Structure 1
């Protein structure tokens, strides 16, 4: 039997395709990853700073925490729309312009939030902030696919996830501290400053990473240049026609999810991420109420184990995903099966994610004092690791199978996931109040197991599922 070190059989076409990934030096690639990861941190920071500030915002605007919590759902909805918009247009115009368009909206939304005096203003500017920041994650996944080849992509995607999810670790602490000792408005100004710094980095250091000739605008201009119509040829040669606006349907990326394998992976990832929200969104009403934590700074610090789990879990997940691909491809004598990458999700999805959310319900309900709080924080950490062990290989798999539309498939799955989360998050606190914490968390844990079942079906029957609806799946020569 072939070992992991067995040389893989590669075709000339595959070797030729891999030369595309040598356009940037390793050092330049690291700079690009740092920039897109910083941009992907922004939505995490914006969301992470908002949740611990809910009670302070409610007091400031003379409303209830439940009303302010609707801002979480609205921001998820705005992020979904933004991700689809930026991903669709990034395939046509390129990656770099999307950052140059989105980041100013993030900055404007942050300034608006810092000045909001009504709930309506709060919701509007939170939507703008989320919409502007959303491209960082969806387009960033496409950038990683642009610059790293198949055998390096999983680890690089893990680094991207790990760095971007650093916001999950830091933002709640910063948001809670700011709400307690300064003002939640000052926190929003801080997000504006960070967004401005990222924008300056993009302007000065981020190149266009789309593969040469792959953008929609390149194909359009090439087709017109090849036309026999002299009038069109003259227009194309004019400087002002080198750029033009083309109306695209941002919802078209969701259409990619009609493929069963993509849909199953999207559903599993959505449920997995939902466990994160079930633990964190009601934290003031669960851990805060049980252990008498009213200080927003301390409450925000309780988010840190999840973020730490994200930071450690993402590169681990990426490394495992790459090793699994290399191992199984070697065993098959060089034959590539995309679904092999999903095997890296099974431990996190079947054990860490569901058990952590169920145990949190039990610990909070039955174990008082510092022991109960400690056990909850350990469960938070395990959930953070487990969620990344699912999300990172899933994202890399999607880029693998639809590489030519990598940003779009990421955005389509993020869009569907966000539409699900925007409604599902709004029922978390009412469900806990009506049915209890244990019942709510147990149901979500069972759903997480169902999600793992969908991934297992995809692993076992991936070729059949891809044959049901062909959305232009990649081959080893094109991924």
Structure 2
């Protein structure tokens, strides 16, 4: 194996047969990350963070106005809440289509067109004349919005080195966490004084602003696009090859890797906790503390939101710091070492906060300050987990980063949809205390899975790659143990 470095700073893998497969060789230097000056990278990260805010904020805006929307369409709050589950299902499914396309063609125009369609479908939601139209436009909004998350994560991976990208990704992910927390508060304020339709007019305005920002400030970041493989082919061969490259089942095949399954499970446990947690606030906080208006209960959403913001200042830095620490210990960079940074939070801090929250509400102890404090701590702890898990997906398989992130988001949002759908019936049946206990057990189980991934993930990847080496289309992964470039040594 050659000792040249690839774009991740690891050893370059010679492209045996790559031209027969029609695949361009990967760049042999990490100079690709120096194409843009630092200030441009900051601007791009800010634009992507705003774009990444859209789909998540759309996933919970309706939570602050469930009774009002239900009254308009002469239905129940549970039926309107089911639109949230459908929204999250479409958020989970759509990455299977967007991720492969973003690797074949370009990232920039996919992001711009998705933001534009998000604007259009949000406007359609605001103007919905009946319940079926409301369902359809909500689903179409989610279908577009998730590509902003997938493409945005890939853009971060395109412009930042592995030892830097968790910090940038932490800021990008801030939008995905703050959005769901703050949206119900904003919705509560709006419906206190205006019609619920104003919520979606505002959402449409955000989509329009994201379109403008992406058009003017987002350059193309992809290192190599695969569309060149289609040049010179007949129409039939071109169509066949294009299907191979954009087939949504490519994403599902990544679950041959146990390390990706366990990482996705960890992300899923976090959103299983997060979305039911947010869904239930108005239903359990209002009766517990005798609140009467949407805005009053909406104030409780500020606690986790502020926790997400606070965690953003440290979560990504902590993940990158852990990587640099283990580079010094080993002398090499192993992708799984990054996961060490989040295990204490997903295994101790978040389950502990959740148990205190659930049982304090169930037993009516502690007054208002106790749930507010633990909601803040839980939000802060989640920001030490998501940047780590998402960056691991970028590190471990750089050449298919969009698809790996899509595989993670697929499972993540399907669990979010399930959690949102079962939260109210489950709490009605077993109470918030036991529901929190079950969720805490889920978190502990996935923390154990991450620990196993740290210990054995490298050998798992080597084993799967060994089985795949004779397949027609090889999976190109980051090597199990990566040599460290001089640049990474300096950063560490």
State whether TM-score is above 0.5: yes
Question: What CA deviation, in whole Å up to 9, does each residue of 1:439-460 have, x standing for no partner?
Answer: 1111111111101011011011
1:2-47: CA deviations, max 9, x gaps?
xxxxxxxx78969952100011111111111111111100012212
Where do residues 53-452 of structure 1 align in structure 2 (5 Å cutoff)?
Answer: 53-211=65-223, 214-221=224-231, 224=232, 246-247=242-243, 248-333=246-331, 335-367=332-364, 371-452=366-447
Following superposition, the deviation at residue 169 of structure 1 comes to: 4.5
- Cα deviation for residue 192 of structure 1 reads 0.7
Aligned to 2:477: 473
**How far is the alpha carbon of 1:263 from its aligned partner?**
0.4
Deviations 1:92-117 (A, max 9, x none): 11111211221222112111111123
Shift of 1:130: 1.1
Instruction: Give the Å deviation of 1:163.
Output: 4.3
Q: Which runs of 4+ in 1 moved over 4 A?
A: 10-16, 242-245
Shift of the alpha carbon at 1:325?
0.7
Quickly say closer, same or farther: Cα 1:425–1:167, change in 2 above 3 A. closer
Q: Deviations over 1:341-392 (max 9, x none)?
A: 0011022111221112211111112235xx4222111111111112222211
Higher alpha-carbon deviation: 350-359 or 139-148: 350-359
Distance 1:29 1:243 in 2: 36
Distance 1:243 1:38 in 2: 35
> Equivalent residue for 2:5?
none
User: Aligned-residue CA RMSD in angstroms?
Assistant: 2.4
How many pairs align? 449
**Aligned partners of 1:364 and 1:373 also within 8 Å:** no
Kept in 1, the 8 Å contact 2:54–2:145? The answer is yes
Structure 2 counterpart of 1:454:
449
- Taking the aligned partners of 2:230 and 2:320, their CA distance within structure 1 comes to 36
> How far 1:339 sits from its partner (Å)?
0.7
In 2, distance between residues paired with 1:91 and 1:43? 21
Contact 2:58 2:180 in 1 (8 A): no
1:393-415 residue CA offsets vs partner (Å, 9 max, x unmatched)? 01001100011111111111101
Q: In structure 1, the residue corresponding to 2:163 is in which secondary structure?
A: helix
Instruction: Flag the 1:41–1:326 CA change in 2: closer, same or farther, 3 A.
Output: same
8 Å CA contact 1:402, 1:473 repeated in 2: yes
The equivalent residue for 2:58 is: 46
SS at match of 1:264: helix
Once the two structures are superposed, residues 115-162 of structure 1 have per-residue CA deviations (whole angstroms, 9 ceiling, x without a partner) of 123221111111011111111111111000000011111111112112
SS at structure 2 position matched to 1:350: helix
Whole-angstrom CA distance in 1 between matches of 2:357 and 2:126: 34
Residue 152 of structure 2: SS of its match in structure 1? helix
CA gap of 1:418–1:12, structure 2 versus 1, over 3 A, is closer
Q: Distance in 2 between matches of 1:361 and 1:409?
A: 34
Q: Give the Cα–Cα distance (whole angstroms) in 2 for the partners of residues 435 and 164 of structure 1.
A: 30
Are the aligned partners of 2:59 and 2:88 in contact in 1 as well (CA < 8 Å)?
Answer: no
Q: Distance in 2 between matches of 1:391 and 1:193?
A: 28
- Where 2:368 maps in the other structure, the secondary structure is helix
CA distance in 1, matches of 2:212, 2:387: 28
SS of aligned partner of 1:460 = helix
Contact 1:259–1:469 (8 Å) recurs in 2: yes
Q: Does structure 2 retain, via aligned residues, the 8 Å contact 1:349–1:452?
A: yes
Listed as ranges, the gaps of 5+ residues in structure 1 are 1-9, 236-241
Paired with 1:118 and 1:256, the residues of 2 have a C-alpha distance of: 40
